[in-house]
């Protein structure tokens, strides 16, 4: 059972552009293994005021840090364990709450290595509906594809291009939809295109349609 819990999304106004809340540990792109303990350190510059409360968040499964330490200015710490079946790429960011609102750190991404006992056997894509198709009703609208890899060790892991197993996305018509390396699809024009999702010798496709929203 994964130890991460679903993230609760908060809307905060950004305050105090002079305030700089940054994650200094781990570094962006650091590699970890399942079972490792990750210590996250967020710091403010010495000239910034203390923050009343700091929350640490993680994706995909996300959630507040289960073991956090609210220290005196300017260092805040959190530690969490990487569970079995973790996504290959985990994004981390920090929100510092003040009486006026909140400030957010830039996101960083850590990578999680696949155990040597696990080899990918196939991939499955989720679009959010039973037809396994993507529908857009406005130009510029975004949707994200979620791709899981089925592994020989029985664990299902999310496949990301920045992870240990590289998943690629290709649109047959970029005038209709484009796809970034993380699987985020953007509607560019009306029409229909097919998106090919590939990981090694395994691949699948999704149909994406962009059309005006029907009027009542």
Of residues 187 and 182, more confidence is placed in: 187
What CA–CA distances, in Å, run from 96 to 24, 34, 51, 60, 210? 15, 28, 6, 21, 39
Tokens read off for 98: 């003040």
Beta strands 31-33; 53-59: pairing state: unpaired
For residues 133 and 152, give the distance between their C-alpha atoms in angstroms, rounded to a whole number.
28
pLDDT at 64 > cutoff 70: no
Architecture of domain 21-113: Sandwich (2.60)
**DSSP structure string for 140-184:** T-EEE-EEEEEETTS-EEE--TTSSS--EEEES-TTTEEE-TT-E
Q: Is 31 helix (H, G, I), strand (E, B) or coil?
A: strand
Predicted confidence (pLDDT) per residue in 71-122, tens digit: 555 778 888 888 877 777 788 888 887 666 778 888 898 888 777 666 788 8
pLDDT in tens, 113-169: 777 666 788 888 888 777 789 999 999 999 988 888 888 777 777 765 444 457 889
CA count, 13 A, side-chain hemisphere, 86: 29
Check for a shared fold between 21-113 and 120-210. yes
**18 and 48 in contact (C-beta within 8 Å)?**
yes
**Residue range 120-210 in CATH 2.60.40.1080:** yes
201: left (phi over 0), alpha (psi -120 to 50) or beta: alpha
Give burial (CB, 10 Å; 0-12/13-18/19+) of 173: middle
Cβ neighbours for 178, distance < 8 A, ≥ 6 positions apart: 171, 185, 186, 188
Residue 70: band (very low, low, confident or very high) from pLDDT cuts 50, 70, 90: low
Sign, CA torsion 41/47/48/53 = positive
183, 89 contact by CB (below 8 A)? no
| Domain residue ranges of the chain, discontinuous segments joined by + | 21-113, 120-210
């Amino acid at each position: 059972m994964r130890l991460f819990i679903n993230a609760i999304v908060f809307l905060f106004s950004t305050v105090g552009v002079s305030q700089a809340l940054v994650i200094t540990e781990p570094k962006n792109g650091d590699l970890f293994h399942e079972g490792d303990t990750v210590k996250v350190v967020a710091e403010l510059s010495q000239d910034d005021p203390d923050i009343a409360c700091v929350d640490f968040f993680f994706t995909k499964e996300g959630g507040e840090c289960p073991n956090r330490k609210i220290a005196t200015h300017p260092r805040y710490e959190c530690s969490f364990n990487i569970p079995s079946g973790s996504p290959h790429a985990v994004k981390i960011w920090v929100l510092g709450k003040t009486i006026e609102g909140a400030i957010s750190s830039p996101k960083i991404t850590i990578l999680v290595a696949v155990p040597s006992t696990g080899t990918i056997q196939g991939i499955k894509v989720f679009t959010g509906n039973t037809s396994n198709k993507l529908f857009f009703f406005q130009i510029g609208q975004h949707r994200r594809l979620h791709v899981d890899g089925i592994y020989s060790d029985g664990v299902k892991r999310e496949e990301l291009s920045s992870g240990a197993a590289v998943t690629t996305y290709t649109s047959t018509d970029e005038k209709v939809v484009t796809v970034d390396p993380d699987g985020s699809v953007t509607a560019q024009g009306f029409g229909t295109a097919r998106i090919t999702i590939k990981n090694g010798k395994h691949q699948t496709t999704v149909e994406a349609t962009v059309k005006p929203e029907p009027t009542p």
